[in-house]
Structure 1
Amino acid sequence: MSHILIVEDEPVIRGALRKLLVRHEHSVEEAESVEQAREYSLNQFDLIISDLRLPGEPGTTLIEAAGITPVLIMTSYASLRSAVDAMRQGAVDYIPKPFDHDEMLLAVDRVLKEGRLNRGNRALRRDLERSFPVRNMIGNSAAMEELKHRIGRVGPTNTPVLIMGEAGTGKELTARALHEHSERGNG
């Protein structure tokens, strides 16, 4: 079940969209303005659907505020220029109102599927980045295999490690590999 935020100032449209999404097993929150939407932690949502013209600020200001959460823009004042502007600012899609229910559901499903793929790709990339230093270590002798094994076991713990060796033996590479495997690997 996906968590979606609807930002729409017209209660009838907001309610209709809510019913449509809930009927298709999505969890939905609502806001009437960008200001009200900011009261939520925007990154908790899988998708934000926002009207372009809202009281106070335009819906496109949510694109930057939402970070990696995708924002789909809808508007009654559809024009080629406003669509291009919204997409340039980072909107994942642009739907004119009144929207066709099937068209909206297809757009929502596509954006959510892409979001799941992107999250999976980011997780895989992080895993690869974390394991890369050990893979980057050259050698397959018993000593090197033992070192790689120890890095994999000791890295995630909160244990101090002393790395000793002659110049050019890979102490810095070992330290980086340990750091990447630690809980502070992103720090």
Structure 2
Amino acid sequence: PPGAPGPRVLVVDDNEMLRSLLARVLGAEGFQVSTADSVEQALRLDAAAHDVVLVDLRLGGRPGTDLVDELRRADPGAAQRCIVLTGALGLDPVPAGLPVVTKPFTANDLVAAVRRILAAQPPPAAGRAGAQDRGPGTGAW
């Protein structure tokens, strides 16, 4: 329904510029976006309550895998809502079975990954239609 809040997405990245950019891109697609710069901040924002969690593997303090592990401990299915962001694929350990978005990526890559996670989840009780693709993204991050 028009005006209904979109799915909740949490972006966890210690790069302020990238975090802000991802929030704008996802917000423009109708998602409710929260951001965190660390595992601790993500946990304070109740990461488990979000529909999708985008987590960078290399954070300033604890690695992003720690967040995935914490979510998995609290709810074994929570990891199914995580997407890993990395610019060092092959160098950083990626938790088994999680989708990976490799930097640099386009807005379309990111939005498509988020929509794939949402499509794999049981539909909400209200059942809302998916937003249409808004065309090609520009540039890569």
Residue 53 of structure 2 is aligned to residue 48 of structure 1: yes
Gaps of 5+ in 1: 121-187
Q: Where does residue 86 of structure 1 map in the other structure?
A: 94
- Number of residue equivalences: 114
Gaps of 5+ in 2: 1-5, 126-141
**TM value normalised by structure 2:** 0.73
- Asked whether the 8 Å contact 1:62–1:71 carries over to 2, the reply is no
For the aligned residue pairs, the C-alpha RMSD in angstroms reads 1.8
How do residues 1-187 of structure 1 correspond to structure 2 at under 5 angstroms?
1-66=6-71, 67=75, 68-69=77-78, 70-79=81-90, 82=92, 85-88=93-96, 90-91=97-98, 93-116=99-122
AA of the residue aligned to 2:61: G
Deviations 1:108-162 (A, max 9, x none): 1000110235x88xxxxxxxxxxxxxxxxxxxxxxxxxxxxxxxxxxxxxxxxxx
Amino acid at match of 1:57: R
TM-score of the superposition, structure 1-length normalised? 0.56
Q: Which has the higher contact order (CA 8 A, sep 6+)?
A: 2
Note the C-alpha offset of 1:103.
1.1
- Percent identity of the aligned residues? 28
Q: Which residue of 1 aligns with 2:134?
A: none
Assess if the C-alpha contact under 8 Å between 2:11 and 2:23 holds in 1: yes
